[in-house]
Chains A and B, each alone.
Chain A
Amino acid sequence: MINVEHLTRRFGATNAIEDLTFHLESGEVVGFLGPNGAGKTTTMRILTGYLPATSGKVEIAGFDVLRDSLAVRRQIGYLPEAVPLYREHRVREMLEFQARLHGMSRSDYRAKIPVVLERVRIADRIDSLISTLSRGQRQRVGLAVALLPDPKVLILDEPTSGLDPLQRLEMRGLLRELAREHTVLLSSHILPEIEAVCARVIILNRGRIAADGTPEQLVSAQVHASAVRLEAVVGADVEAALRLLRAIRGARSVEDGGKLGIHQRFEIHCDEDLREDVGALAAQRGWALRELSWTRPTLETLFARIALDLDQDGQAAPRAASKPAAVPASSGGLISLESPPPKKTAPLVVEAPKPLPLGTPTPPRAAYNLNPFEGAAARDLSKPKPVAKDPGADAAPEQT
């Protein structure tokens, strides 16, 4: 339905978009993501025929945007970010104007206007002046204007921008409905909205396609964004704790986040959820846990990394890294974020305590007492305090 090939648009010396190539099949719903200035609006304006491209080719429904501009415009319903409505008109008049521009017959548009307004749930304001409508209502009227000629392709530039959370939710539901009947290209920088509505996402950065695929594909491609976060009392030997954590199978790297009160923070970068392994290690070593959580990769982390030009490890990447990488054939030609093969890590080696011979007195259990008022405030809380097995052991000195 939409074919974009090697599309470039320059404004003076600046490349607003550069060598964009993507295709949308009929009925596909694609989210166009990108930070401000990434080139989303420029691309959409070129698709609608409002802006000419510096080079490249765009076809919509088989018509070339440059050569058959009017035919393309008949196939498109376009809702720009600033909803274009004549404020002095009533809703009905605005829709009638749009219908006449598209050459609809009077009987046709008189029948369709109530249906379209009902669909965007603003039928009760059909005779209201547009200047009296709220922002959300104007957004709905704008959508009704775009929908009225029943276009094959809907191009919506940030349709929920400026709406309150409730209006945004309603608009999201509406977009899901529209997605069933139209080919939709939807731009936004509100990620949950894109994830909720779009089956495919194209992320633009600095005028180039940085990622293209389904949200699941894009999320699963970010192997380095996954991490287990641990906050525990590990004792004085932090290096030993680091060594143990690095030894866990699947741990890519371990970051020491420093001390937070009596707790030591660690971030274990990994490809999968290692909470069970880390938890087992903590239990075995007797570390008192305060936090053990897994940070999953999300579209948001991918978006942030692309927008900030960070590489997979979260480091600032050189400019060239923002170019899309080669598309792996196995991924259906969609994902452009390739991950390097995971480093081989040593298996988790934690020595199990040897069973003691029968009759051997059990050594006092080490436990952490987090009550700062017990044993005086001067006690080193990071050191374990022996717990006596029998009442007579209460007087035993603190284990060091």
Chain B
Amino acid sequence: MSGTWTIFRRELSGLFFGPLAWVLLCAALLLNGALFVWYVGASGGDIDFSVSMIFGMGGAYWALMVVLPPLLTMKMISEESRAGLLEFLLTAPVSDWAVVLGKLLAATAFMALLWAVPLLYGSAVALLGASPDWPVLLGNYLGAVLVSGLFCGIGLVASAGTSTPLLAAFVAFVFNVVLLLLPFLKDLAGAQPENWRGAFFRRIDVGSRLQGSFSMGVIDTSHIVFFLVWTVFCVFLATRLVESRRWR
């Protein structure tokens, strides 16, 4: 576990040493800030509506979710492998999964920081006398962190599976988009609650699980488990792919 913590610290500091993280952070803050102000104005001062639009109910949220994690994670394994740093890590006394987990936690922590800003918006409007619905706000935040973890996991799998960072980002982006859009095809696929297609779509439907619970301030452990299981699966897959680099 100390290895994971060490890798986590290094990766998180590494993100902030590079310009990309700052650019992404700045762009996301500008976009979210502008959208929040616009939503507040358009809704006649409905803070809860504005918060939920900033989070899981709005298009900008999903756009950031499919774009940012791939960009954050694209270099984490593929670039390190090219620079020989992966060889350094994999010959250090830490396990492969600790390396992958440390990187995932660092990317997720960065996203958690990025999504913490709407909490500041909530605090700001609370100071102005219009207190937001805090359970909804916090539920949205928790959901955003869980979705970020899953998408960062997908990004790490892509980074471990390819040797070019940009290709890794593209693959992860496409996978994220497919994961989000696939459930819209469930009617076309003839999915019913009782058949296997229905079960399949239930197990991959990220959007509904977020909007059906976290966006409403409801913390449902089954949804937490859903996100955690898929994220752990991604860590497992990325670890196996890192190990497979030894055999190539």
Contact = CB atoms under 8 A, between A and B. Distances in A.
Asked if A and B bind, the verdict is yes
B88 interface: yes
The listed residue with most B CB atoms (<10 A of its CB), out of A49, A71, A84, A98, is A84
Contacts of A84: 83-85, 87-88
B229 interface: no
Contacts of B113: none
A31 B33 CA distance: 62
B2 A50 contact: no
A76 B10 CA distance: 22
Q: How large is the interface on B (under 10, 10 to 19, 20 to 34, 35 or more residues)?
A: 20 to 34
A52 interface: yes
B195 interface: no
Given A86-B85, A97-B6, A70 B17 contact: no
B94 interface: yes
A88 B85 CA distance: 13
B90 A50 contact: yes
A115 interface: no
Contacts of B14: 86, 88-89
A45 B10 CA distance: 24
Nearest to A84: B88
Interface string B109-149: 00000000000000000000000000000000000000000
Contacts of A97: 6, 10
Contact of B91 (A78, A88, A100): A78
Contacts of B89: 101
B142 to A, nearest CB: 30
B10 to A, nearest CB: 5
A50 B83 contact: no
A52 B93 contact: no
A74 interface: yes
List 8 tightest A-B contacts by C-beta distance, closest first.
A84-B88, A88-B17, A82-B84, A100-B6, A101-B92, A73-B93, A84-B84, A48-B91
17 contacts: A50-B90, A52-B246, A70-B94, A73-B92, A74-B93, A80-B84, A80-B87, A80-B88, A84-B83, A85-B85, A86-B14, A101-B3, A101-B6, A101-B93, A101-B94, A102-B92, A102-B93
Given A52-B247, A70-B94, 5 more contacts: A45-B87, A50-B87, A70-B95, A73-B93, A85-B85
